[in-house]
Amino acid sequence: MNEALKRLVQSIALPDEEAKRLAAAHLDQLTKPPGSLGKLESLVIRTAGITGQPKPDLARKAVVVMAADHGVCEEGVSAYPAEVTPQMLLNMLAGGAAVNVFSRQAGAEVVCVDMGVNADISHPALLNRKLRKGTANMAKGPAMTREEAEQAILAGAAVAEEACERGIQLFVTGELGIGNTTASAAVASAFTGLEPSLLTGRGTGVDNEGLSRKTGAVQQALSVNQPDREDAIDVLAKVGGLEIAGMAGLILGAAARNCPVVLDGFISGAAALAASRLCPASLDYMLASHVSDEKGHAVLLEVLGLEPMLRLDMRLGEGTGGVLALPLIDSACAVMREMATFASAGVSDGTGVLEA
Ligand SMILES: Cc1cc2ncn([C@H]3O[C@H](COP(=O)(O)O)[C@@H](O)[C@H]3O)c2cc1C
Ligand SMILES: O=C(O)c1cccnc1
């Protein structure tokens, strides 16, 4: 691991236990039976620990969409051609993708980052962090070099840091990259040791023949490259993607700044697994939004030990599921700041009504 990456990993602190304790105590003073807000209560306690604020206020939120292309598309692993990556990126920059619609509803910014799209795109709102034009075909050799993977992680972390500097307080992981469910399956299989067939799904909607080609490409990528699961950078370099490494960096960068990171779907899950292997403490900063329909996502969340808030049978990516969870997080935090306590509202808290 290079020095800058080591420093990044070392800068990630454990959650603030005192803020968690204060949040839990405050929740029990609010005008509701203890625990009656269910998972929103554990969510806000975790958020307090992440931010160090017993009553978190996360007004400024961004979904960061990392975009890149994948050499493995040559193997016929997606239902769509690779040209869709730059086309969809332009659509997103114009505000026309699903993630833009949901973000307008949720009051979140969409930040698009070119990590390695196989086309020259220039747009005033696009962050150009292109390290190369797409990865190499991992079924034939390493997707990228170790240095490129490290640079991609650091670039992702820098995006988080720059966004924090201008006031962003919460991140959603988003992505765009035709072929990236194949790379994510390979990354997930490399880290977990689970069979590729358990982690390879239909992505954009490949048919049965496409699915067996895709599973075969994942198996081949693993056998050709032999990634070392103890070495997260080796895994990302050999069978990952530029956007997946960038997302892992974004997660680490957000954690280093005490910001919650809301994970979207399967690709986000693969990036989260990589981040957790680079820095186990980063897991405490991750909130799982939904479980997607992509085969393998539920397993990944289980491995991460994260419980999703939503199950909407979505399989889109872009950060869409993550953005849909933002109103829940906002509501959970608002409870802490706005709800009356038993004392302030003059409501009996029930003590003394029942014999202990
Ligand atoms: C029009 C369109 C919009 C998308 N938005 C996200 N994805 C999602 O699908 C791609 C991954 O699936 P696969 O591995 O099967 O290629 C990624 O771009 C992901 O963000 C899209 C895909 C398409 C076709
Ligand atoms: O789970 C996801 O996020 C997903 C699934 C299919 C295609 N793109 C993304």
Could you give the domains of the chain? 3-55+335-345 (1.10.1610.10), 61-328 (3.40.50.10210)
Indicate whether this complex's ipTM tops 0.90: yes
156 lines ligand 2 (CB under 6 A): no
Q: Which ligand is nearest to the CA of 217?
A: 1
DSSP H helices, 144-265, are 146-165, 180-192, 196-199, 208-225, 232-239, 242-256
Catalytic residue (choose from 74, 148, 318, 355) = 318
174 lines ligand 2 (CB under 6 A): no
| pLDDT tens digits for range 46-85 | 999 999 999 999 999 999 999 999 999 999 999 999 999 9
Coil vs helix vs strand at 286: strand
282 lines ligand 2 (CB under 6 A): no
Q: Which ligand is nearest to the CA of 179?
A: 1
Place of tokens 């005033």: 124
pLDDT given at position 355: 52
Ligand 1, atom 4: nearest CA belongs to which residue? Answer: 316
Are 270 and 244 in contact by the 8 Å Cβ rule? The answer is yes
Task: Round to whole Å and give the CA distance between 309 and 298.
Answer: 12
Q: How far apart, in Å, are the Cα atoms of 105 and each of 72, 93, 325? A: 35, 17, 11
Site to substitute for ligand 1 among 100, 176, 200, most atoms within 8 A of C-beta: 176
Place of tokens 């009656």: 36
The answer to whether 318 is a known catalytic residue is yes
Task: Round to whole Å and give the CA distance between 248 and 261.
Answer: 11
182 lines ligand 1 (CB under 6 A): yes
The C-alpha angle 61, 63, 66, rounded to 5 degrees, equals 150
pLDDT given at position 328: 98
| pLDDT tens digits for range 81-127 | 999 999 999 999 999 999 999 999 999 999 999 999 999 999 999 99
For the CA of 174, the nearest atom of ligand 1: 20
pLDDT given at position 265: 98
pLDDT given at position 354: 64
In this prediction the pTM is 0.98
pLDDT band for position 351 (50/70/90)? confident
Residue 140 makes CB contacts below 8 A (sequence gap 6+) with 224
Task: Round to whole Å and give the CA distance between 205 and 188.
Answer: 20
Place of tokens 């292109």: 130
